[in-house]
Amino acid sequence: MSKIEKFEDLSAWQEARKLVVLIYKICKKESIKHEYDLISQIKRSAISIMANIAEGFGRYSLKESKQFYTNARGSVTETQSHLYVFKDIHIITQDEFDEIYKQAILVHKLVNGLISNTIRQQDTKTHESNNTKT
């Protein structure tokens, strides 16, 4: 396992980037082009995933990092919700929905991993701090 030195090294960010590409590709479809508001919403929520992961990585405190990772997780579920609208009004196929949704699930799991890891680091730091005080 290689050392993570920058946000681009995070698999959560890499997979979120793939999700954004899938979203942008689907939004270029002729059947969707007239759905300006929905396109704008889903693009923003997908981009927000990447941005929050990157910002969380760049924060100095674990508490702040966790908050941004939590925001990223919220943006994943928002993106998933928008996908249902795309599917329900028949502007994407079930196969297109499944492909993008599967990627979103992967991103969600990876972001959960970032959150869990950050919580573990917080707990370790708190434990170490408590041990030095005694």
- Output the pLDDT for position 122: 82
Task: Report the pLDDT value the prediction gives residue 129, as an integer from 0 to 100.
Answer: 63
Cα gap 124→134, rounded to integer Å = 16
Indicate whether 115 belongs to any domain.
yes
Q: Is the pLDDT of residue 123 over 90?
A: no
- pLDDT by residue (tens digit) across 67-91? 999 999 999 999 999 999 999 999 9
State the CATH number of the domain containing residue 49.
1.20.1440.60
Cβ of 24: how many Cβ atoms within 10 Å?
14
Predicted confidence (pLDDT) at residue 134 exceeds the cutoff of 60:
no
Whole-number pLDDT of residue 2: 72
Note the pLDDT tens digit of each residue in 4-63. 899 999 999 999 999 999 999 999 988 888 889 999 999 999 999 999 999 999 998 999
What's the alpha-carbon Rg for the chain, to the nearest Å? 17
In a domain, 50, yes or no: yes
Residue 36, domain member (yes or no): yes
Indicate the number of domains in the chain.
Answer: 1
1 within some domain = no
Q: Which residue range is the domain that position 117 belongs to? A: 24-133
Report yes or no on 28 lying in a domain: yes
Q: Give the C-alpha separation, 35 to 26, whole Å.
A: 12
Residue-level pLDDT at 53 = 98
Q: Report whether pLDDT(1) > 60.
A: no
pTM above 0.75, yes or no: yes
Among 106, 123, 120, 4, residue whose Cα is nearest residue 54: 4
Asked whether the predicted pLDDT for residue 3 surpasses 90, the reply is no
Tokens 């994407």 found at: 92
- Domain annotation covers residue 19: no
In a domain, 14, yes or no: no
DSSP 59: -
DSSP symbols for 31-69: TTTT-HHHHHHHHHHHHHHHHHHHHHHH-SSHHHHHHHH
Of 88, 84, 74, nearest in space to 44 by CA: 74
